[in-house]
Amino acid sequence: MLVQEFRTEVVPPAVRWDLWQDVATRTHVPNLMRSERSDDFEATMRVLPLGDLQIAELSLPQLDTARTPRIIRRFDPEVLQVNCQLVGDGGMAQDGTEAVFRAGHLIAADTSLPYDIRINRTSQRSTTVVVSLPRARLPLPPRTLRRLLAVPVPVDRGMGGTLYRWLTDVARRADEFTEADAPTLASVTTDLLAAVLGGCVDSEDALPPESRRRALHTRIRDFIDRNLGDPSLSPATVAAAHGISVRHLHQLFAAEDEAPAAWIRHRRLERCRRDLADPRLRGRSVQSIAARWGFTNPATFSRVFRRVYGMTPTDHRHHHAGG
């Protein structure tokens, strides 16, 4: 298991603030920190190290963080820290830009430049996912990245929404990943970040073709997962929703040795298999579960399910019921 979890509640209230400062310095970068809640600093941090990229989920009360020229001279990993705010609000100042951010915003800071960050300007607690990665890892010009420092980026739709859902899902499932997953997780995260940040300054053309392709593929797969229950979901409707041709869609999936229609069927079957094994859904018929995930013909569903999993949907349900 890759994830590392830290909770200040494991020590007495009087030393929780010291523990947090130590953990934050070791997992991120040295900063000056101050909090109105330093007498009893209740906070948690889950860190997922993925090589030179790191994803961390933080839940914490009011916190002020400052990175000074003196601290930078002592240690600078030349890292970009991208905060995806899930709950709460805050403010940031860096490189002549000041802004406030709230839940549903992405905001970036560069460890090579001084900054001031306040978590919880008006809220009581915040939850944020922080992606830390070398600036050089992002395929964007340095001038482009600098223009985006301390600039709130909404992530409630389009590629931003895809990135938001990706980061929240990775953070929630952090304890499920192994070292073998790290390269893929880091690659997809980098591509999505590059697409979102590049899109903010009309720099999509600056992205390498491979990064654009993988980001679009991730966005399409996310769209498919959110629309599995629609019986009309097909390669044609997926392509139309993303403004590309069906041929282009097939090319995207072919690069991953997949086919769009087969992928849709696979995802539907996986959702059905999960629901059939769920004891909380025993009251639902096999047919209603199949219909929930877009299968309109019970006979076709049963035949395809048996071919893929080697047993009928009913047998699969009985197997997991212990019968």
Q: Are residues 159 and 289 in the same domain?
A: no
Whether 256 is in a domain gets the answer: no
Q: Which residues pair with 60 in a beta bridge?
A: 126
Residue type at position 321: A
> Long-range CB contacts (< 8 A, 24+ apart) of 232-235?
233/264, 233/294, 234/261, 234/264, 235/260, 235/261, 235/264
Structural domain count, the chain: 2
Element counts in the chain: helices (H) and strands (E): 12, 12
Q: At a CB cut-off of 8 Å and minimum separation 6, what does 200 contact?
A: 148, 151, 153
Residue 248 domain-assigned (yes or no) = no
CA pair distance 203, 223, nearest whole angstrom:
23
Which pTM value belongs to this model?
Answer: 0.68
pLDDT score, position 243: 84
Residue 234 resides in a domain? no
Whether residue 31 is found in the same domain as residue 156:
yes
Q: Is 212 within the bounds of a domain?
A: yes
CA-to-CA separations, 305 to 3, 209, 286, 311, in angstroms, rounded = 35, 37, 11, 7
* Res 18: pLDDT: 96
Q: Is residue 281 part of a domain?
A: yes
Closest residue by Cα to residue 90 from 156, 28, 150: 150
Do residues 263 and 303 touch, judged by C-beta distance below 8 A? no
Asked if 210 and 313 sit in the same domain, the reply is: no
CATH of the domain at 9: 2.60.120.10
Mark whether 201 and 290 lie in a shared domain.
no
Q: For position 206, what pLDDT does the model report? A: 53
Is the domain of 211 the same as that of 315? no
Whether residue 300 is found in the same domain as residue 215: no
Q: What is the pLDDT of residue 143?
A: 81
Q: Say yes or no: 159 and 283 in one domain.
A: no
181 domain-assigned: no
Within-domain flag for 119 = yes
Which residues span the domain enclosing 135? 4-167+187-226
| Sequence-distant (≥ 6) Cβ neighbours of residue 176 within 8 angstroms | none
The predicted structure's pLDDT at residue 169: 95
Is residue 215 domain-shared with residue 276, that is, in the same domain?
A: no
Question: For residue 24, which of 64, 52, 51 has the smallest C-alpha distance?
Answer: 64
Instruction: Mark whether 207 and 289 lie in a shared domain.
Output: no
**Same domain? 143 vs 31:** yes
- Output the tens digit of pLDDT for each of the chain's 323 residues: 789 999 999 999 999 999 999 999 999 999 999 999 999 999 999 999 999 999 999 999 999 999 999 999 999 999 999 999 999 999 999 998 899 999 999 999 999 999 999 999 888 999 999 999 999 898 888 888 888 999 999 998 888 999 999 999 999 999 999 999 999 999 999 999 998 988 876 544 555 677 677 778 888 988 899 899 999 999 999 999 888 899 999 999 998 889 999 999 999 999 999 999 988 898 999 999 999 999 999 999 999 999 999 999 999 998 887 64
Q: What is the C-alpha separation between 126 and 117, in angstroms, rounded? A: 13
* 237 CB-side CA count, 13 A: 11
